[in-house]
Structure 1
Amino acid sequence: MPSSFSYKVLVCFLLTYSVQYIGVRYNELAAQEGTIFENPYQKTEKQTDVTAFTIYFTKKSIQIPKADQNRLQSVADFLNQNRNYEIYIEAHAVEGKNFKEDILISEKRSLEVERFLLIHFVEEGQIRRLFYGNSKSHNRTKEHEALNRRVEIRLQQKI
């Protein structure tokens, strides 16, 4: 029994020692914020600005991606604290069979973002929704189709 006990203590000591030995100091760690990998054609950009950013959607979807829900939450918090600001939600879509269907998809996306903000207590008077369908989409190639499935968010002070 004594030899078994000393063996377990020795193993525990070695494991503890090795973890401390290979540990990395915290000031050497660096993380990048806001890198998005959902869209292969989208340039990866740091998404740290709350006043203007873009939400990209999957094809024919109106569901806000999880990463963008966190950013919208910080926008909602900002708008709740700053009632003199308003948000512009500009939705785009190039994926329907015709212009009417693109308008409908972009309107639904803008409504989804508005609904999210209203749930988080943003006042209705602070929200401005615009939906363009495919009228402002310059890239109509298949490679750039994903870039046109977007909602652009812009905050500005009320005039």
Structure 2
Amino acid sequence: MPSSFCYKVLVCFLLTYSVQYMGFGRVELNAQEGYIFENPYQKTEKQTDVTSFTIYFNQKSSQIPKSDEVRLQSVADFLNQNRNYEIYIEAHAVDGKNYKEDILISEKRSLEVERFLLIHFVEEGQIRRLFYGNSKSPNRTKAHAALNRRVEIRLQQKN
């Protein structure tokens, strides 16, 4: 009797195991170009327009997020191939206690983006840095502070 009982339990286990895995079709994971999931709760949109975009920073940080380094690399490649274009780096901040601190933070952010581009062989004459602090911040509420911690990138042909 015990041997048939073990046999029935084994058959039941094998059937349950095989039904669980045979019931699902084969699922393939495909990566899509341009989508980066560094933060699982925030999806970075596919960027087709390299001429203008915005980089958002963490509070009091000047470190470029990894997801935006990919976009900056494509901008650097574009500028290397098109020497008749220049980049405008417009930095903003609302992280400091006063206007002077906001200017310093926005300057650090613009310097970090410039440094990234120079490392990737963009000519110094193609880069224009502007930093505003909190003087051009569209939102001054705490809820929109993350939108104000930004660097706006704009490419245009040289005059």
TM over 0.5: yes
Which amino acid is 1:23 matched to?
Answer: R
Aligned residues: 138
Aligned-pair CA distance for 1:45: 4.8
**Which stretch of structure 1 is more off in the superposition, 45-54 or 79-88?**
45-54
Which amino acid is 2:69 matched to?
Answer: Q
Aligned-pair CA distance for 1:23: 2.8
Aligned-pair CA distance for 1:72: 0.4
Secondary structure of the 2:83 match is coil
Identity of aligned residues (%): 78
The equivalences for 1:2-151 within 5 A come to 22-23=25-26, 31=32, 33-34=34-35, 45-151=45-151
Secondary structure of the 1:48 match is coil
d(CA) in 2 for partners of 1:32, 1:107: 32
Cα distance per residue 1:100-138 (max 9 Å; x no partner): 100000000000000000000000000000000000012
| Preserved CA contact (<8 Å) 2:90 2:129 | yes
d(CA) in 1 for partners of 2:106, 2:133: 5
Secondary structure of the 2:59 match is coil
Normalised by the length of structure 2, the TM-score is: 0.76
| Preserved CA contact (<8 Å) 2:90 2:131 | yes
| Preserved CA contact (<8 Å) 2:38 2:67 | no
- Looking at CA atoms only, which structure, 1 or 2, has the larger radius of gyration? 2
d(CA) in 2 for partners of 1:134, 1:36: 30
